[in-house]
Amino acid sequence: MTVMAGKLRHRVELHYPVKVVNDFGEEEWGYALMARVWARVSPLSGSERLEAMELEAKVDHEVEIRYREGVTAQSRVVFGDRVFGVQAVINPDHRDRQLLLMCEEVA
């Protein structure tokens, strides 16, 4: 399955977790920019949500992007002022052409 460029009409940022030092000198987890990519961001319908929730705790959106290494279930997607935590990363047919990110909106 190839990724049709017209489907990827949303500009999103991919972030990965990093350890940062806060103002008190303590290490804590934060996020850094991995890449800005074109994506398709879609809310899941009721039946898709039920199926997805059987696999992962709370999945309410699917984000489709072109394949790229480094995207994991610890990553997050920023779409405008909305933030989505990636719950699962699916590489359809293991062909390294696209990724489906099953996400939960966190902010």
State yes or no: pLDDT of 5 exceeds 50: yes
pTM: 0.81
Task: Give the 3-state secondary structure of residue 75.
Answer: coil
**pLDDT recorded at residue 53:** 52
Residue 77's closest CA among 56, 59, 104?
Answer: 104
**pLDDT recorded at residue 47:** 53
Q: What is the mean pLDDT of residues 18-37?
A: 94
**pLDDT recorded at residue 56:** 46
